[in-house]
Structure 1
Amino acid sequence: MAVEEPLNPVLLPRPRLLGLAVRAGVLALVAVLSLRLAPYQDVLGWLALMVLAGAPAVLMPQHRVIGPLSRMAEVAVTCLAAAAIAHAAYRSGATVGAAAVVLAYLWVPTVAATLARRRFEPPALLATAVVVLTAARLADPDLGPAGFTGSAVQWVGLSIAAAAVAGILQHSLLAQRDSPQPYAEATRLLTQLRSVARQLPGATLDPGGLAEHLLDEVRAVAPATRAAVLSTSGGGRLVVLAQMGADRVDWETGLDADSAIADAWASQQPQTANRSQARSAVPPGVEVSALIVPLVAGVRTIGLIALEADSPGAYPPALVAQAAQVAAPAALRLEAALLFDEVRSLATSEERQRLAREIHDGVAQELVMVGYGIDNALATLPDVDATTEELRVLRNEVTRVITELRLSLFELRSEVDRYGGLATAIADYARTVGQSAGLRVHLSLDESTARLPAATEAELLRIAQEAITNARKHAGAENLWVTCTIDPPFAEIEVSDDGHGMVDRPKEGRYGLAIMAERAERIRGRLEIRPRVPSGTTVAVVLGSAPRRGSV
């Protein structure tokens, strides 16, 4: 015999208490209404039989034999009670509704069987009800005038409907439980994204590359002296994805400022202005026309195109409409690239944290235990023993490896703080490494309030970390110079040491240089490696064109 599945604990927490509460409530309602239609001794006697018939189903709802038999008895007793009370009510002069009052209980065992996931029991219970009610009607001629047949048909139909609704809800909730919908949907979307990413050319999911291409398209319609594509970042500010023009512009990136940029973002409509949208000063006597075109994907603003021309009235309404028409289809492409970049950054960050946890809880702890074991051995051996010296050498090596692991863990866990900045993260890492390696660290930090995209900041941090680590491990240096100049979309990070240079650098150090080159290429930056005079090596990564502060 096949074993029926137990009640679903998610749908029916504490099924005994729930079954008891439902039965008690419906029986109380039936009792109150029936006592108005028939003698109380007849009503109470049949209600007591209904309680006895349903008690096993309440006490052992999951039992594969007692539960179904008890519910079958409930249905049969309910139908007989309806017939008997209808007969008594007819004899006492009440001919309307007597049967309907008792048959209101009929749906209780039927729905209970449905929720117990008994596939064939609800139809069997309803069939039993039809048989018993039909037999009672044929055996008692008084039930015809009492309106018993019509009431029986109505309540059997309502019981069928209640069982069907319960089955639908049961199936829906079980589907949600058995198939974790958020994860299934995420898997489907990520699979589609992977397929699309493999089919597209390499640069089409790069936000910076898409932004530069968009600027070319818009400037072909609306000529501009300066132009930029801005998008959101942490802290409620905008970041510059791409910028073009003879000179750099320190664009307004605050969304709460009184500017056409903030108005375009909020209204999702193109905005024009007769003043520059930059925080840097415009030379006296220069008349500026500005056009801000929002990039809207669906109902969300995902970016802005800022155009400026050094001439009055450069953007009439017709030209504004043309620029908006060109920008409209690019919004979806840019949003896809930004989402892809964010997913990749989140996945990379999570993997780094996972590796850090595994190293800390695994290899690092085991090495510490090895060190303790060597310390215990040294404590029991005489100082003049030759083995003691070998153990001391081994202990020093274990200490060195543990230090390396701790620095690696610090590197894995280092992230650019959302409200801190890239220069702060690089400086913290350089100070920590310098302190552990005995290096004198010289910092020169110049970071504007504007931010680079989060993915770009993460790659620049990893490049700086690798350069600092190489200097510590392979250069044999005494001094470390770290210079950060960050003025989005421009950034330059330079790490120099006074070590022995690149000639004697081991192969693992050169592998690190290859990794830095790959990271720089990923963010469209330039990696420069050159000797430092009089000694040492300089590693620099440059993103964008050189800054020219204070100019427009």
Structure 2
Amino acid sequence: MDMRVHSLLELEEQYANLLAALDRGEALRRALALLADGSEVAWTARPDADGVLTLDQVTGDRTGVLRALRVPPSTGLTGKVFRAGRAEWVDDYFGSQEITHDFDRHIATENVRRVLAVPLLRDGETLGVLAIGPREDGTFGDREIEHASAIAAQAALAISLAERARLSREIAVHEERRRMAADLHDSVGALLFAIGSGMADLAESTQADPELRARLEGLRRQAVDATTALRESLRTLRSSPAALALGVALRADCEAFADRTGLPAELVILDEDPPELAPSRSDTLLTAVREALLNVEKHAHASAVTVSVQHSNPWLTVAVHDDGVGLGPDYTPGLGLTSSAEALGRLGGSVRVVSDPDGGTIWRARLPC
């Protein structure tokens, strides 16, 4: 095979793997393919906000009874594993006294004899469950359990990456919408204002022709109506879902910092489900982050900055990390940092500023949410 063709095929495979890593459904389908052969049923279960699981990916089934099956918390082996956060298995599903038997009919319909389920764990959080149901009698050995657990760990990482990629895409979309809204305001909004003003001036200058004056006044009112409609459309275009509003604002702050200083400023969101903050709490947090970035600009002599966001219930943590000179031995916080720390403290939060042992400074704010 021509080496160039071989290289292209390798690139195509790498690209397919990258797309799979950024797509939750494809990542789970690949995990199931690694877990089960054609004689076995395998599924993944995804929780909703109330902890009720839904079997969202099923492979190897014959009847369809497992597809989209809802599993309440702690029911069946799948629900038990999700609640416990550890691998569990039953070598005799129907005779086991360790699980509830809410789904015996479904399992019997698929002729499954035994089930192994492992949690999809990432950073201490259970993202779902991965399970396999062989149709032949037997017992699960250590190698099968370790194999399933390894696949689940890879799948959990892929899910986490996919959700972060989804969030980044959504933030980018809303940033583009806000940019478009600003452009429309400056162009179309200004044009409609000029048309309305021109119509008003013409109407004033045509006192001798009542009919023409009336027609011009009607056009002016239409221009006013169009301006009102545009304003409402721009308000909708600029708005972001509450869960994305903080990320959109922080991305804008990073871009503003980079524009002012010429230094790269990266936003890293470490959670797939950022919390929704009340506007007053979000404003206080954003003001504090901007003050931290201003201090980096004035004092750090840094070459790069990273702003990270992490939600670990009940805390939201935002950190500003630079690679500058760090804190001096006689460091004392200035008025701006002190004021922002006090404002966060009134909301039950806190601020800490420390030198990074590897160089630079870490400003970290925590706020209950």
Larger helix share, 1 or 2: 1
Larger strand share, 1 or 2: 2
Larger Rg: 1
The structure showing larger relative contact order (alpha-carbon pairs under 8 Å, at least 6 residues apart) is 2
